[in-house]
Structures are given as C-alpha cells and as structure tokens.
Amino acid sequence: MTIDAFIDALPKVELHVHLIGSASVPTVLELARRHPGGGVPVDEEELRAFYRFRDFPHFARVYGAVNALVREPEDVATLVLGLARDLARQNCRHVELTVTPYAHHVVGMPRREVTAALDLAARRSREEHGVRVAYIFDIPGEYGAEAARVTLDHALQEPPHDLVGFGLAGIEQERPKHRDAFRDAFRAATAAGLRSLPHAGEMTGPETIWEVLDHLGAERVGHGISCLDDPRLVAHLRERRIPLEVCPTSNVCTGQVARIEDHPLPRLLAEGLFVTLNSDDPPMFATTLTGEYRVAAHHLGLGREDLAALARNAVEASCLDSESRKAVLDEIAAVSAAVTPA
C-alpha cells in the first residue's frame, strides 16, 4: 500500500473547520444560483477561478462574498450537507464544525430557524453520508462584546441538539480590548456544560494561548503554533495533554508560516505535544482534510505510524461518546494493521 493509499484508507476526524470556509465549489455554485446578483460567479469555470487562493486580502473578499450568500436557514443546511458530502469521500467519520451565529444574526435570520436548519443538516449528514456532525459556536473576536452576547444567547437559549463547544476566532490582535466580555461569555458557556474550544496562537504569540488557558478554560487550542516560542508553555501543554488543532496549509496561506516545508508540525510532535491535523477553510485554501495528511507525509516527512497517531489523536480529542470513539479507533487500528508486516 502506498502512503497515499494509506492516507485515503485512514478513517479521520475533523476538529477545526469553519462553516463558511468549508463551502466547496459545487456548494457555492448552488448558493450563487439560488441568490444571483451577489457578485459570486454562477458559471462553474468562472467560480473556480474566483475561488482560487491568491493572497490573504483575496481570501477575505471570497469569504465575505460566500458569507453574503448565506441569507436563509436553507442556505445554512446546504453548507453543512455539502461539507458532510465532501468529508464522506475522505473517509471522515466525525466533524466538529465551527458555526458563527453572529454572522446569521446580522442578516436577520431568526436563531430558532438557524437551529432547526443545523439540526436537520446533522441528521441528514449522518443518514445520507455516514458523517456525524457536532457544532461549535464561536465568537468572531473583532466584533467584541455584542458578538459575545449574541453567540452566548444563541448557545444557551436555543442551541442545536449537537452543540458541544464554545469558541473564539477572528483577529487575535483585537481581543485585548474585549477581554472581559470574552471571559464572561466563556464562564457562562462552560458552566452550562459546553467545552471551551477557542483559537489562539495563530496570529499572535504565546500570551494569547496563556489567556485562553488561564481565563477561558480552554480544553483544546485552535492552531496554537506560537507555543514553541515559550518553553514553559510547551511544558504546560505537554503535561496537561492539551490538544492543538494544527492546520498547516492554512498557516502558509495566511502568512503565518513562510513555506510549507518550514511548518512547525514536526517540531510540535518532537516536543511530545498532543497534535491533531485539520483543514480550517479547505476549499478556500485549495486543500482537504486528506490533503493535510498528504502535506504531512510528502512535505514534512511523516510516516504511516505518525499519520495514524495523528488520526487517533483527533478521535481522542473529539467530543464523541466512548462507544463511537472506540469504533473509529478500531477502524484506524485495522487499517494500520493491514500495512504492518506480521
């Protein structure tokens, strides 16, 4: 079995992917034709050219254009089902999908209808594609206290059935001015039983990771790659076995890492950290979850055992129940055993 065939066969779990950023060309084409005149091409060839990543400002424009197509609850469900279809083709068994309720709130979608769309999409994803979908509601940090309030209210008052986590994303440099609002929101969310799953250490240094650990109660850290700048933080993450949701291609596309060959994934593993591999905004960065495993193999030198360990880490760091977790781990073991000499 070649390394690529091994990656294809490996059962996977995705922990770090955004609803809007997950929209592949077929899904965006469906939305663009449903809502013409929004500045998004309705011709497939033109849309593929529009979607091709050029630089971060272009990414931001495309992300905003796709977000503007999400106007009705039906559009939300279309995005979830499109992602489930795409992940099923990659042998992905479970996804923890980051949804930003504030984006739907500002265009006037009633939260009850958003929740109904998410619930419907989760059921259909499992029935039609065999992919379990859980949700993380995240605060877009640059929008401050208002976004924190809207996100928390939706999470506590009308949550989807499969809501498991509370997150914080967006521009990390904007967080300090809203720190108290974020701390209050996370305190309330975790008191209600949601897991604390914020981004940190992608665009800023270790201080942002310390903030989410010490004041937001982070159980996993989205990205977290700047931890390597602080040996004390590395030791803390290692001792507490706090998972990092690492997204190599994303880090290169957004300019956090100069070249894929320079990505710190191998060093994170060498430090004994609990690393998972994820795709972030896959079609917008011209990648997939499977593609990230290929990057790890072909550009960063990871072998089959390393890749299987990353797949197991994602299962163990997930919110799956113990029975479902064991089932996926058994599948990973079976694939690994099939290529291991007796």
Residue-wise pLDDT tens for the chain (342 aa)? 899 999 999 999 999 999 999 999 999 999 999 998 878 999 999 999 998 888 888 888 888 899 999 999 999 999 999 999 999 999 999 999 999 999 999 999 999 999 999 999 999 999 999 999 999 999 999 999 999 999 999 999 999 999 999 999 999 999 999 999 999 999 999 999 999 999 999 999 999 999 999 999 999 999 999 999 999 999 999 999 999 999 999 999 999 999 999 999 999 999 999 999 999 999 999 999 999 999 999 999 999 999 999 999 999 999 999 999 999 999 999 999 988 654
**Residues in Cβ contact with 326 at an 8 Å cutoff, skipping those fewer than 6 apart:** none
- Rounded CA gap, 113 and 74, in Å? 9
Per-residue pLDDT, 162? 98
Per-residue pLDDT, 55? 86
Alpha helices in the chain (DSSP H): 3-9, 25-34, 44-51, 56-69, 73-88, 101-105, 111-129, 144-157, 179-191, 206-215, 231-240, 248-253, 265-270, 289-298, 304-317, 322-338
**Residues in Cβ contact with 46 at an 8 Å cutoff, skipping those fewer than 6 apart:** none
- Please confirm, yes or no, whether 202 is among the known catalytic residues: yes
Per-residue pLDDT, 342? 46
CATH for 3-338, options being 1.10.630.10, 3.40.50.10320, 3.40.50.620, 3.20.20.140: 3.20.20.140
Catalytic residue among 202, 211, 245, 292: 202
* Residue that the structure tokens 């521009």 belong to: 171
- What are the two backbone dihedrals, phi and then psi, of residue 274, each rounded to the nearest 5 degrees? -85, 95
- State which H helix or E strand residue 170 sits in: none
Please, are residues 11 and 93 in contact by the beta-carbon 8 Å criterion? yes
Per-residue pLDDT, 164? 98
- Rounded CA gap, 125 and 161, in Å? 14
Per-residue pLDDT, 341? 59
92: left (phi over 0), alpha (psi -120 to 50) or beta: beta
- Rounded CA gap, 196 and 280, in Å? 18
Q: How is the beta sheet containing 275-277 ordered, strand by strand?
A: 199-200, 221-223, 244-246, 275-277
Per-residue pLDDT, 1? 87
- Bridge partners, 276 (sequence order): 245
Per-residue pLDDT, 39? 81
> How distant, in Å, are the alpha carbons of 173, 251, 275 from that of 234?
22, 19, 12
